[in-house]
Amino acid sequence: MSKTILVTGGAGYVGSHAVLELVTRGYRVVVIDNLAKGHPEALPPGVEFHHVDLKDYAKLPPIFAAHQFEAVLHFAANSLVGESMRDPWLYIGDNVMNAANLVRAAGEAKVRKFVLSSTSNLFGVADAPISEECPILPASPYGESKYMVERLLKWAEEIYGIRSACLRYFNAAGADPKGRIGEDHEPETHLIPLVLDVALGRRKSLEIFGDDYSTPDGTCIRDYIHVNDLADAHIRVLDALETRSCAYNLGNGRGHSVKEVVETARRVTGLPITAHVGPRRAGDPAFLVSDSSRIRSELGWNPQYSDLAVMIDTAWKWRKAHPKGYRNTN
């Protein structure tokens, strides 16, 4: 009998790619999503879907009672650094309390595995690749909220026996290589789809948030990781949770500046992409690159789409076919 996985935020960007990969590998999947940012059209046929907000605890126990879940994959969260600087209580409140409701329901239902979609924003400012041993100094209320959930999971193990994997990943990018699903946010804030919207003529110019950082070209450097490689890591840790809790940093181990992303997108699309420099954005460190050697050595995780041009190409194919995102889907 196929194992059943509960995925929260499974209609969102990273969550939907994890759902598709789980289904491809033969798992049964149940999705909870409040559709604040998710799209039910992103879910493959046969996936059980519940339009539920995690803040409504009373709706969770019946879902758990109806299934014997092998694990919970928790993607549902507010996730914008800039927004968290403007409205910290939305993050400290919703992200933490919603996760607490979910962990409580999972613990009472005797679920024993929990995978948290965490963040590199836990680590704040760094000038070298970030390993799991680096000090946790959240750079924003968003990062703080994820760290609070990680701490909550430590107590969940003591109280309920839930083993957890906290996956602190860097900038998700790309789309399903077969073009079935992709990235669609409203409003869009991620760099690569914004760059591609300029290529499509959907916006006149890309705003670069500052070019006076202490980096070679003055723009922020980030470690981009393909969304399918993220999905693989979330599934790969399920076996590790048979014996232990764990935390891993996920990235490709090399960074690309904003200007480098724009230049690569110009080559991939063959189109001019206009960009202009604006003021810095609050909460943005100059350099965020992952040292992912631990998950590579311990679990054999090996990103299959590590080249920036490949990531942009998969995103470009999705964006061209769906210029209005899932609103194009019939």
The answer to whether 102 touches 149, Cβ cutoff 8 Å, is no
Where b means 16+ CB within 10 Å and e means fewer, 232-259 reads bbbbbbbebbeeebbbbbbbbbebbbbb
3-state secondary structure of 165: strand
Which residue among the candidates 13, 27, 91, 142 is catalytic per the annotation?
142
Residues belonging to the chain: 330
> What is the rounded CA–CA span in Å between residue 271 and residue 263?
10
- Exposed/middle/buried for residue 276 (C-beta within 10 Å: 0-12, 13-18, 19+): exposed
Q: How many other CB atoms sit within 10 Å of the CB of residue 215?
A: 17
- Provide the residue type at 224 as one letter: Y
DSSP string, 190-225: -HHHHHHHHHTTSSS-EEEE-S-SSSTTSS-EE-EE
**142 is known as an active-site residue:** yes
Residue 81 and residue 31: Cα distance in Å, rounded? 25
Helix (H) or strand (E) holding 168: strand 163-169
Handedness of CA 7, 9, 11, 15 (dihedral sign): negative
DSSP tag of 77: S
Q: Which residues are within 8 A (CB) of 151 and not within 5 positions of it... i.e. 6 or more apart?
A: none
Q: Which residues are identified as catalytic?
A: 142
